[in-house]
């Protein structure tokens, strides 16, 4: 008798008709073998799936060039298929499950002909964690199989763990023919199933990542009483050696990875990395909020990553412990056979090949690396990895930090008045858009808790769920908002960011510990300038004031935009959030 898993794999194989089926065991030997297959046997758009890079400076590094139309998440082709449209909410594209299955069945008929179907058994979360989930993804490209080995805990033991169960998390992925018109990412939360065709890009193809660990898992969390969030998890060690754990939500490409492995500009402080993208939050037995990172790797933006912006990431990328490290759509230094991107340290190489494989020179006015070019690297190569990384229980969280990219209005840091005010702060957060998804860059969009593209159900209910988790906590974390991106009259960023962000974290720790008071504004508490550690940093007091300014006369437009945004959730918007909005309006004197 085949197990439910074997039977499911067989059914998908009948639909997709691969030439062969390959069950992965997640071992390093297998990874080395798959690299060779990607170099010698598989290609995309006529280019081999992998190219070996200079192994002296970049141990275990391989280069991948995507199909030119396949460089980012496609939110307009991403659907959440609940039986009822209302459950998906105005924040999601919706399709009825039966219709979506019919469409996807048509697109998947024979889509793996002549190719290998890789079966990837993996855990999201440490296998010993009560919060972990057993999953299986099918894919038809070695790049995805290897990326999943880096990003998840892939092993054959998962198969035994699934055993006779039917309810394991399922993902079916094929790159299809890369036709953008035949590209869809479909989610079936009621069946723990993701079905993705037509793209090999991270967020569309590594189905354990945004698709499962955020969109589907957020629905599981809603049913089961926990939260799946788009958040960094980090430990901040103070000079006494005590470590305080925080989570941080920022939209894609706003510096989450840099923050997760920040190298402190303040002596005595140190940041320990637990995750750069996803946090699962559970109420622990002691009534505190605990976070685990379901992933084991970083899928980060390459351009701008340097020894200055993120030295620990550069060290991670050159790490030797875990094989392999992948670079996707960066440029190449042709002479040294090394990855290169705008913002990397050192002199510009003499001969650069751009992300599309063409010879490049700076006078062209184009970028050599794609703006959303990425690296995929194991957390086990990270020199600042927290010793709690594999703790099945996770770490207790003292602060939840929310932010976006705002050139105006929003102070460098504020502290919410209480939990409900913090959830409202999350609900009203907006951000100027970046290159991580295929849309206009620089426009303002509301992105509550940085979850807009990732919340798998109605966001009105999501705000209510956050409020209800808060009611179960005995010792709730404080909420903070951050904005590294405020500009001056000349349009220049006021705050230096990067390693200096530790100053903001330090202020938060002092607030969490009840060591200092703060100044009340309509948006929450902001620092007294005298409490904010500016030692060794050259910012004038006018600049500091500009960073923390809250000017009610600038707010009417923002307030009405927030109201318009929240109103789309109609009766699903919790009363408490409406009350928080009313309070803000009143305090702004609008």
CB of 542 to ligand SAT, least distance (A): 35
Task: Give the DSSP H/E element, type plus range, for residue 508.
Answer: helix 502-512
- DSSP calls for 511-562: HHTT----EEETTEEE--GGGS--TT----HHHHHHHH---GGG-HHHHHHH
Find where tokens 């296998």 sit: 127
Stretch that binds ligand SAT, among 12-20, 202-210, 311-319, 550-558 (CB under 6 A): 202-210
**CB nearer ligand SAT, residue 73 or residue 270:** 73
Describe the chain by its helix, strand, coil percentages, rounded to 5.
Answer: 30, 25, 45
Phi then psi dihedrals of residue 432, to 5 deg: -85, 135
> Taking CB under 6 A as the criterion, which residues in 400-459 touch ligand SAT?
436
Q: Where are the alpha helices (DSSP H) in 89-153?
A: 97-108, 142-151
Per-position x/- string for 214-253, each x denoting binding to Mn ion as judged by CB under 5 A, each - no binding:
--------------------------------------x-
* By CB under 6 A, residue 183 contacts ligand SAT: no
437 alpha carbon, distance to own chain's centre: 12
* By CB under 6 A, residue 371 contacts ligand SAT: no
**CB nearer ligand SAT, residue 133 or residue 209:** 209
Q: What's 216's DSSP letter?
A: I
Beta bridge partners of 270: 237
Quickly count: other Cβ atoms within 10 Å of residue 399's Cβ.
20
Residues 254, 259, 260, 261, CA torsion sign:
positive
Strand 116-124 and strand 20-23: pairing?
Answer: parallel
Q: Choosing among ligand SAT, Mn ion, none, which partner's interface includes residue 524 (Cβ < 5 to 8 Å by kind)?
A: none
Q: Does the annotation mark 81 as catalytic? A: no
First to last CA, the chain: 69
Question: What tokens appear for 456 in the block?
Answer: 């798998």
* By CB under 6 A, residue 82 contacts ligand SAT: no
Q: Choosing among Mn ion, ligand SAT, none, which partner's interface includes residue 222 (Cβ < 5 to 8 Å by kind)?
A: none
CB of 201 to ligand SAT, least distance (A): 6
Quickly count: other Cβ atoms within 10 Å of residue 491's Cβ.
7
Per-position x/- string for 295-314, each x denoting binding to ligand SAT as judged by CB under 6 A, each - no binding:
----x---------------
* By CB under 6 A, residue 187 contacts ligand SAT: no
User: 81, 219, 254, 382: which is the annotated catalytic residue?
Assistant: 254
Among 82, 133, 210, 511, binds ligand SAT (CB under 6 A): 210
**CB nearer Mn ion, residue 229 or residue 558:** 229
CB of 136 to Mn ion, least distance (A): 23
Q: Choosing among ligand SAT, Mn ion, none, which partner's interface includes residue 202 (Cβ < 5 to 8 Å by kind)?
A: ligand SAT
> Taking CB under 6 A as the criterion, which residues in 305-364 touch ligand SAT?
none
* By CB under 6 A, residue 250 contacts ligand SAT: no
Q: Choosing among Mn ion, ligand SAT, none, which partner's interface includes residue 133 (Cβ < 5 to 8 Å by kind)?
A: none
Tell me the number of residues near Mn ion by CB under 5 A: 2
Q: Choosing among Mn ion, ligand SAT, none, which partner's interface includes residue 209 (Cβ < 5 to 8 Å by kind)?
A: ligand SAT
* By CB under 6 A, residue 370 contacts ligand SAT: no
DSSP-based three-state secondary structure for 298: strand
**Are residues 138 and 23 in contact, defined by beta-carbon separation less than 8 angstroms?**
no
- DSSP calls for 37-62: HHHHT-EETTEES-EE--TTTSTTEE
* By CB under 6 A, residue 73 contacts ligand SAT: yes
**CB nearer ligand SAT, residue 202 or residue 426:** 202
* By CB under 6 A, residue 203 contacts ligand SAT: yes
Find where tokens 């060290």 sit: 315
Q: What does the alpha-carbon distance between residue 375 and residue 340 come to, in Å, rounded to a whole number?
A: 11
Spatial CA neighbour of 524 closest among 391, 373, 422? 422
> Taking CB under 5 A as the criterion, which residues in 245-304 touch Mn ion?
252, 277
Residues taking part in catalysis: 254
Question: Which residue ranges make up the site for ligand SAT (CB under 6 A)?
Answer: 73, 202-203, 209-210, 252, 299, 436
Question: Which residue ranges make up the site for Mn ion (CB under 5 A)?
Answer: 252, 277
């Amino acid at each position: 008798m085949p197990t439910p898993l074997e039977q499911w794999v067989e059914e998908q194989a009948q639909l997709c008709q691969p030439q062969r089926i390959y069950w992965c065991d997640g071992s390093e030997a297998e990874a080395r073998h798959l690299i060779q297959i990607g170099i010698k046997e598989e290609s995309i758009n006529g280019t081999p799936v992998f190219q070996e890079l200079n192994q002296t400076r970049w141990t275990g590094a391989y280069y991948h060039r995507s199909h030119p139309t396949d460089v980012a998440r496609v939110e307009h082709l991403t659907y959440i298929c609940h039986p009822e449209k209302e459950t998906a909410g105005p924040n999601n594209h919706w399709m009825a499950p039966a219709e979506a299955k019919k469409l996807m069945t048509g697109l998947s008929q024979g889509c793996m002909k002549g190719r290998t179907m890789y079966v990837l058994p993996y855990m999201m979360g440490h296998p010993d964690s009560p919060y972990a989930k057993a999953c299986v993804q099918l894919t038809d490209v070695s790049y995805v199989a290897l990326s999943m080995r880096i990003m998840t805990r892939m092993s054959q033991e998962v198969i035994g763990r699934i055993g006779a169960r039917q309810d394991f998390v399922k993902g079916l992925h094929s790159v299809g023919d890369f036709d953008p018109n035949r590209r869809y990412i479909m989610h079936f939360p009621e069946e723990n199933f993701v079905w993705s065709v037509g793209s090999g890009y991270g967020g569309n193809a590594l189905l354990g990542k945004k698709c499962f660990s955020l969109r589907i898992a957020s629905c599981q969390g809603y049913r089961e009483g926990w939260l799946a969030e788009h958040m960094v998890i980090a430990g901040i060690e103070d000079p006494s050696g005590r470590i305080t754990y925080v989570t941080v939500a920022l939209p894609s490409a706003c510096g989450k990875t840099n923050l997760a492995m920040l190298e402190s500009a303040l002596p005595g402080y140190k940041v320990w990395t637990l995750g750069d993208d996803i946090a699962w939050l559970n109420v622990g037995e002691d009534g505190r909020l605990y976070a685990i990172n379901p992933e084991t790797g970083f899928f980060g933006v390459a351009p701008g990553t340097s020894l200055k912006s993120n030295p620990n990431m550069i060290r991670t990328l050159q790490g030797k412990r875990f094989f392999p490290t992948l670079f996707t759509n960066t440029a190449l230094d042709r002479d040294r056979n090394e990855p290169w991107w705008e913002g990397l340290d050192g002199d510009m190489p003499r001969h650069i090949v751009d992300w599309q494989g063409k010879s490049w020179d700076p006078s062209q006015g184009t970028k050599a690396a794609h703006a959303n070019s990425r690296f995929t690297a194991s957390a086990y190569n990270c020199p600042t990895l927290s010793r709690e990384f594999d703790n099945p229980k996770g770490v207790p969280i003292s602060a939840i930090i929310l932010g976006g990219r705002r050139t105006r209005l929003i102070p460098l840091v504020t502290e919410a008045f209480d939990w409900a005010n913090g959830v409202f702060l999350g609900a009203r957060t907006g951000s100027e858009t970046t290159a991580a998804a295929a849309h206009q860059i620089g426009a303002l969009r509301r992105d509550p808790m940085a979850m807009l593209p990732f919340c798998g159900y109605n966001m009105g209910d999501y705000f209510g769920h956050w409020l209800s988790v808060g009611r179960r906590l005995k010792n709730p974390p404080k909420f903070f908002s951050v904005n590294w991106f405020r500009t001056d009259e000349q349009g220049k960023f006021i705050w230096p960011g990067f390693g200096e962000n530790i100053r903001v974290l330090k202020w938060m720790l002092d607030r969490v510990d009840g060591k200092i008071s703060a100044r009340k504004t309509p948006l929450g508490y902001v620092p007294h300038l005298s409490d904010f550690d500016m030692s060794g940093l050259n910012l004038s007091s006018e600049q500091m004031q500009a960073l923390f300014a809250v000017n009610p006369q600038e707010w009417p437009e923002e307030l009405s935009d927030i109201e318009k945004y929240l109103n789309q959730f109609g009766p699903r918007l919790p009363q408490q959030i409406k009350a928080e909005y009313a309070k803000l309006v009143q305090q702004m004197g609008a």
